[in-house]
């Protein structure tokens, strides 16, 4: 079967890469065309592919935006299969996209406090959820975004969250934390330190967030998610999760 046969059989659409920004050697953001009629809920993922290899990518952009924004981490060869191919792409090249976005890691607006925990690319669903919330001028929830990374340059949406937390201090609290503060790449860092999962209890206590009115979301690294659940479930918190890969 040729790539074109596979594309037809799976009802895939070919879309063009609009632009890409290389953040570090293993992190990039990419904008791809949104097929006509393509709909999704903030927090859902699209399935894109190249040469018949398809993978899930949560969507950074909110539904009202013109293109689909993705934030991708390279899994280098020989382990990674699709991401090394994505790294070769330039604007104008094509990828396939499945007709429907999927996923249940979407906002439950019921609990007033939305406690959003993630590592690096795990921030993606939260960016979409918050952009959409602000776009529609919704009210009634507070977002607490705890974001972990090894290095400060991996906080790709740092500028956006810092600005939003200044513009909407009652709506958004943003806490980035780095796990390797002693390394040269993090020189000058004055923020929180330690793995994000190790600061969740302290922050819920300091912020006065009670289990009855707080929903915890954990997205990204499977080890981080397990640890967040081990810490928060016994305290009575509900935890929603999205794992980006399986731990070996």
User: Interface with ligand FAD by CB under 6 A: which residues?
Assistant: 45, 55-58, 71-73, 75, 79-83, 103, 121, 124, 242, 244-246
- Of residues 18 and 74, the one with the C-beta less far from ligand FAD: 74
Q: Residue 102, Cβ neighbours under 10 Å: how many?
A: 12
In the chain, which ranges are continuous DSSP H helix? 3-9, 83-86, 124-135, 158-167, 200-206, 222-232
If the CB atoms of residues 90 and 246 are measured against ligand FAD, the closer one turns out to be 246
Which CB atom, from 142 or from 220, has the smaller least distance to ligand FAD?
Answer: 220
Shortest reach from residue 8's CB to ligand FAD, in Å: 23
**Residue 18 and residue 35 in contact, taking contact as beta carbons nearer than 8 Å:** no
The distance of closest approach from Cβ of residue 79 to ligand FAD in the complex, given in angstroms and rounded to an integer, is 5
Residue nearest to ligand FAD (CB): 80
- Compute the Cα dihedral for 169, 140, 138, 116 and give only its sign: positive
Tell me the closest approach of the beta carbon of residue 231 to ligand FAD, in angstroms. 22
User: Taking the alpha carbons of 146, 147, 152, 158 in that order, is the dihedral positive or negative?
Assistant: negative
Q: Which phi-psi region, left, alpha or beta, contains residue 154 (left: φ > 0; alpha: ψ -120 to 50)?
A: alpha
The least distance separating ligand FAD from the CB of residue 75, rounded to whole angstroms, comes to 4
Q: Which is nearer to ligand FAD, 87 or 189 (CB)?
A: 87
The pair of three-digit structure tokens given for residue 222, joined into one six-digit string: 């499977």
Q: In the bound complex, what is the minimum distance in angstroms from residue 65's beta carbon to ligand FAD? A: 16
The tokens describing 112, both together, are 């007033």
Nearer to ligand FAD, 71 or 157 (CB): 71
């Amino acid at each position: 079967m040729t790539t074109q046969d596979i594309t037809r059989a799976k009802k895939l659409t070919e879309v063009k890469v609009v632009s890409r920004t290389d953040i570090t050697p293993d992190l990039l953001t990419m904008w791809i065309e949104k097929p006509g009629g393509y709909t999704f809920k903030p927090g859902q993922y699209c399935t894109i592919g190249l040469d018949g290899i398809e993978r899930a990518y949560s969507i950074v952009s909110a539904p009202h935006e013109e293109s689909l924004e993705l934030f991708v981490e390279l899994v280098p060869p020989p382990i990674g299969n699709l991401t090394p191919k994505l790294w070769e792409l330039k604007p104008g090249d094509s990828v396939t996209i499945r007709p429907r976005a999927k996923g249940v890691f979407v906002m439950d607006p019921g609990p007033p406090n939305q406690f959003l925990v993630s590592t690096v690319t795990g921030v993606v669903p939260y960016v979409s959820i918050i952009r959409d919330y602000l776009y529609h001028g919704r009210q009634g929830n507070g977002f607490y975004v705890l974001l972990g990374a090894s290095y400060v340059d991996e906080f790709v949406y740092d500028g956006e969250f810092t600005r939003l937390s200044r513009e909407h201090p009652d709506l958004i609290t943003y806490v980035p934390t780095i796990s390797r503060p002693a390394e040269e790449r993090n020189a000058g860092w004055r923020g929180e330190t330690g793995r994000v999962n190790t600061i969740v209890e302290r922050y819920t206590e300091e912020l006065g967030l009670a289990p009855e009115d707080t929903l915890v979301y954990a997205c990204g690294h499977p080890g981080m998610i397990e640890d967040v659940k081990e810490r928060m479930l016994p305290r009575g918190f509900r935890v929603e999760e999205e794992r980006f890969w399986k731990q070996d």
